[in-house]
Amino acid sequence: MFPSFFGPSDRPLFGIYHPPADHAPADRAVLLCNPFGQEAVRGHRIFRVLATRLVRERIPVLRFDYHGTGDSPGSDEDGDLAGWTGDVRVALQELVARSGVSRVVCVGVRLGAALALRGAGGLPETMRLVLWDPVVDGASYLEQLRHKHVEALESTFSVADPAWRASLANDPAAFTSEAIGFALSERLRGQMRELSPQLLRAPDGADIHVLAHPSDARVGEWIASPSLRAARSSHWPIDEPFDWTASQRPGSPIVPAPALSRLMATISG
Amino acid sequence: MAEAIERIARVGADERLVGVVTLPAKPRPGAPGLLLMNAGVVHRIGPHRFNVKLARAVAEDGITSIRIDLSGLGDSPNATDASHSGQQAIRDLQAAMDHLERHHGIRRFVVFGLCSGAVNGYRLALADERIAGLQMFDGYVYPTWKTHIVRRLVRFRALPWSALARKLVQRLSGQRPVRVLELGEGSDDTHLGIPTRPEFAQSMQALITRGTSVYLAYSGSFLETHNYTGQLRDAFAGAMFLDHVRYDFMPDVDHTMTSLAAQRKVIAATRDWIQSVAAEASARTGTTLASTSGAGSTGRSIQESFSPP
């Protein structure tokens, strides 16, 4: 496991490269694309476990932090979908250079799914996109984050302030500039609002595997939409819903086994 | 303004532990380095990226910091031997101090710990005299009789009137037993490794006597056990250490600093405290501005560093 900063000197990224076991020759490499904010904190352990299992299968892995997230430079306020999409491309090139493998499976989780699709979808090195619980509708995602933020406040304080719920219900602008500990700039919110099932298009011939809970109506709408028509897509239902914004507590299940198994099968198959 | 630099740190004899060092553009001569670690199972960036935000904020004050994943957490593997996790955490943090000393010439440290990190920081401070300052955020709690009254009062006020009426009817009809308050209940959990009040007071006194600065901060997330300003003074009435520790109860801040306002408040308070520790260190050693902390002397490649904006 090799942590490093990589990429252009004016926008370096923090990443951890996992070489394959025994440095064996590999037929594919895997790029892991983080979700946003608290969901990325929640996803860290999952990605580490996934990477560990993949290298045992002799598949090299790179996981990384977008600009303004994790250990990468930049602040929360620098969040920018266009910039993060570029970060995916930089990371993919880094992975190809480090592993010597030119066929890459991009795994994107939540907002990272949209970034992986946009950033890596059309690149010749991308052999497959595996999108887990993808965020395909930015407006509803932002609304979900508002609710999750208030839920987080209510659960962390011993006594909830009723004004939080009232603001949430009556003021559409309340709890929009931050979400569960992370800033949401006006620019980022604007970019997220433009994300929709109609506009999140897959490139011609892309090999796309979507892992999502069957009740996720937005994902269902996206899969049925013309946006995926040009792609070869498969939908894998994950029956166990996963709360991406929940706090991690010692002893609680932090890596959902069914999803991990499906990810392994989808990446390796 | 010149920017701080961050570098990858592989910590420990076998470089097993993963960390990131933040080097200020203008190191404050003689200032202690800041140690940051996991809170619970969250990796080294801390809850809501708090450790990163704090590291970069204190870098503006000339403070060098390291945030590491302790053994078995974040990106660091489990320890190779089967030692107690508390003992291992002390060894890991000592390895982080060794790293800062070897690469950056820093010999004194302050440690910030949240929740389980506060416990680790406490044990480290007692075990290692290089610790010049200990900040425990939501560390050990010692309720008083007033804590229980405040708790019930706050809960009572928060109840909707319908629930209040129902509870009253239940009480009057004998359906709900009235619980007798026991003074000091739940405070001395020795079986969990939590220090008793005398032990905690003794430890605080030992640290103060040794010249270690102590900052005990409590959030508003623990109504059951710490819920009013002045609880520490009540819990340890008459103890000598009370006049020498910094103490804050922050009812508007939650345990993991979920709101950005909470993060800003804790960062500002921590910066202020570290500045005071640094000033004390300077006064004690007579450090002059001409000296340097040795920042930037690792010789690591550019691929392992960056300048956060």
ipTM here:
0.95
Section A192-218 average pLDDT: 92
Confidence band for A159, pLDDT divided at 50, 70 and 90: confident
What pLDDT is recorded for position B236?
Answer: 96
* Residue B186 forms contact with A (CB below 8 Å): no
CB A203 within 8 A of CB A122: yes
Section A2-25 average pLDDT: 93
By DSSP bridging, strand A13-18 and strand A2-6 are antiparallel
What pLDDT is recorded for position B82?
Answer: 65
Nearest Cα residue in chain A from B9: A3
What pLDDT is recorded for position B183?
Answer: 33
CB contact under 8 A, A158 and B223: yes
Confidence band for A43, pLDDT divided at 50, 70 and 90: very high
* Residue B78 forms contact with A (CB below 8 Å): no
Q: Which residue has the tokens 């939409």?
A: A225
Instruction: Please name every residue paired with B218 in a beta bridge, in sequence order, or none if there are none.
Output: B249
pLDDT tens by residue, A109-130: 999 999 999 999 989 999 999 9
What pLDDT is recorded for position B179?
Answer: 40
Please report how the helices A81-99 and A111-120 are oriented relative to each other, as an axis angle in degrees rounded to 10: 70
CB A167 within 8 A of CB A135: no
CB contact under 8 A, A44 and B309: no
What pLDDT is recorded for position B296?
Answer: 33
Nearest CA-CA partner of B37 in B98, B110, B132: B110
Nearest to A73 among B47, B50, B306 (CB): B306
CB contact under 8 A, A70 and B49: yes
Query: For residues A220 and A136, what is the distance between their CA atoms, to the nearest angstrom?
Result: 10
What pLDDT is recorded for position B286?
Answer: 64
Does residue A167 carry a pLDDT above 90?
yes
Residue B161 vs residues B158, B167, B168, B176, B224: alpha-carbon distances, Å: 9, 10, 11, 18, 22
Section A154-173 average pLDDT: 92
Residue numbers of chain B with a pLDDT score lower than 70: 1, 82-83, 161-164, 167, 174-192, 286-309
At B220, phi and psi to the nearest 5?
-90, 20
* Residue B302 forms contact with A (CB below 8 Å): yes
Across the beta sheet with B109-114, what order do the strands follow?
B246-250, B213-219, B131-137, B109-114, B33-36, B65-68, B17-23, B5-11, B305-306
DSSP secondary structure code for residue B39 in this structure: B
- Residue A45 sits at the vertex; the CA angle it makes with A63 and B140, to the nearest 5 degrees, is 135
* Residue A265 forms contact with B (CB below 8 Å): no
CB contact under 8 A, B52 and A70: yes
What pLDDT is recorded for position B162?
Answer: 63
* Residue A220 forms contact with B (CB below 8 Å): no
CB A158 within 8 A of CB B221: yes
Query: For residues A224 and A231, what is the distance between their CA atoms, to the nearest angstrom?
Result: 12
* Residue A77 forms contact with B (CB below 8 Å): no
Q: Which residue has the tokens 């946006």?
A: A227
Residue A82 carries which side chain, given as an amino acid letter?
A: A
What pLDDT is recorded for position B297?
Answer: 32
Interface probe with B: pick from A9, A80, A159, A255, most Cβ of B within 10 Å: A159
* Residue A156 forms contact with B (CB below 8 Å): yes
Query: For residues B127 and B89, what is the distance between their CA atoms, to the nearest angstrom?
Result: 12
More confident residue, B288 or A49: A49
CB B71 within 8 A of CB B92: yes
* Residue A153 forms contact with B (CB below 8 Å): yes
Residue B69 vs residues A56, B18, B93, B189, B218: alpha-carbon distances, Å: 23, 6, 10, 27, 24
> What contacts B53, CB < 8 A, 6 or more positions away?
A75, B263, B267
Nearest to B48 among A38, A74, A160 (CB): A38
pLDDT tens by residue, A63-81: 999 999 999 999 999 999 9
Pair of tokens at residue B220 = 């508003």
* Residue B252 forms contact with A (CB below 8 Å): no
* Residue A16 forms contact with B (CB below 8 Å): yes
The minimum CA-CA distance between B208 and chain A, rounded to whole Å, is 32
What pLDDT is recorded for position A91?
Answer: 98
Contacts of B45 in chain A (CB under 8 A): 41, 70-71
DSSP secondary structure code for residue B100 in this structure: H
CB B159 within 8 A of CB B167: yes
Nearest CA-CA partner of B55 in B36, B73, B39: B36
Nearest CA-CA partner of B113 in B54, B196, B28, B64: B54
Mean pLDDT lowest among A135-139, A166-170, A200-204, B301-305: B301-305
What pLDDT is recorded for position B186?
Answer: 41
The minimum CA-CA distance between B78 and chain A, rounded to whole Å, is 13
CB B196 within 8 A of CB B203: no
Nearest to A156 among B42, B258, B305 (CB): B258
Nearest Cα residue in chain B from A38: B48
DSSP secondary structure code for residue A7 in this structure: S
Section A12-25 average pLDDT: 91
Does residue A210 carry a pLDDT above 70?
yes
> What contacts B285, CB < 8 A, 6 or more positions away?
B30
* Residue B42 forms contact with A (CB below 8 Å): yes
Confidence band for A196, pLDDT divided at 50, 70 and 90: very high
Nearest CA-CA partner of B181 in B223, B152, B140, B142: B152
Q: Which residue has the tokens 């895997």?
A: A30
At B50, phi and psi to the nearest 5?
-60, -40
